[in-house]
């Protein structure tokens, strides 16, 4: 029964071209023991059909951009990227909203990002501007904490000298 089920799953998976499969062949070896292809079980490509595929059939990683408002930032200098086969994370520090819009547009057009994550300092109006800049084709989220976490972060930013968090 397992053998028949495995063959049916193989056919469906291969025919839909969602996943790559390991070496074709039966799941029961010549000794009659179930032969599980370890690559099939442990490779995440087989379990997450949401990965993008290019027209050539290559898996395209999920691409995210983190943008943070920082008063002394230089958007060309203060940027980084961390990439694996499945995920690309870019981060850019910007001085103001106009720089944030430029960076979002740049990464949307040049890197085809899937998501933008914003620091808690962005207002609702600024978030709406960023969504409009990317023509609704990029998910925009804001990293906001619960009450105690927000207070802790605000105090740390005040200590660091952020103008917006200074007591007047």
Q: What is the pLDDT of residue 62?
A: 95
117 vs 6 pLDDT, higher one: 117
Report pLDDT digits (tens) over 43-70.
444 444 444 555 556 778 999 999 999 9
Question: What's 122's DSSP letter?
Answer: -
Degrees to nearest 5, angle at CA 88 with 83 and 92? 100
Averaged pLDDT for residues 16-26? 40
Decide if 81 contacts 110 (C-beta within 8 A). no
Mean of pLDDT over the chain: 75
- Closest by CA position to 18, among listed 37, 46, 44: 46
Report pLDDT digits (tens) over 86-105.
999 999 999 999 999 999 99
Whole-angstrom CA distances from 67 to 11, 21, 121, 127, 141 are: 43, 37, 10, 11, 10
Beta bridge partners, 140, equal: 116
Q: What is the pLDDT of residue 60?
A: 85
Decide if 91 contacts 117 (C-beta within 8 A). no
pTM of the predicted model as reported, rounded to 2 decimal places: 0.63
The phi and psi torsions of 43 (rounded to 5 degrees) equal -80, 120
Report pLDDT digits (tens) over 117-151.
999 888 899 999 999 999 889 999 998 878 888 88
Q: What is the pLDDT of residue 30?
A: 53
Q: E-assigned strands of the chain?
A: 52-53, 59-60, 62-69, 79-83, 87-94, 115-118, 139-142
Domain residue ranges of the chain, discontinuous segments joined by +:
2-53, 61-165
CATH fold group of domain 61-165: Rossmann fold (3.40.50)
The two tokens of residue 35 are 């032969």
Q: What is the DSSP string of 12-37?
A: HHHHHTSS--SS-S-SB-TTS-B---
């Amino acid at each position: 029964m397992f053998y028949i089920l495995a063959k049916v799953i193989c056919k469906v998976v291969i025919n839909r071209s969602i996943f790559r499969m390991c070496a074709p062949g039966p799941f029961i070896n010549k000794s009659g023991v179930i032969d599980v292809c370890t690559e099939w079980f442990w490779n995440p490509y087989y379990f997450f059909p949401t990965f993008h595929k290019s027209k050539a059939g290559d898996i395209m990683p999920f691409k995210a951009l983190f943008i943070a408002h920082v008063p002394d930032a230089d958007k060309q200098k203060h940027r980084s990227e961390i990439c694996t086969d499945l995920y690309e994370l870019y981060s850019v520090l910007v001085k103001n909203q106009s720089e944030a819009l430029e960076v979002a547009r740049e990464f949307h057009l040049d890197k085809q990002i899937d998501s933008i994550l914003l620091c808690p300092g962005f207002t609702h109006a600024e978030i709406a501007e960023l969504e409009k800049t990317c023509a609704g084709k990029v998910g925009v989220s804001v990293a906001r904490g619960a009450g105690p976490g927000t207070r802790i972060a605000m105090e740390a930013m005040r200590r660091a000298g952020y103008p917006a968090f200074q007591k007047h």
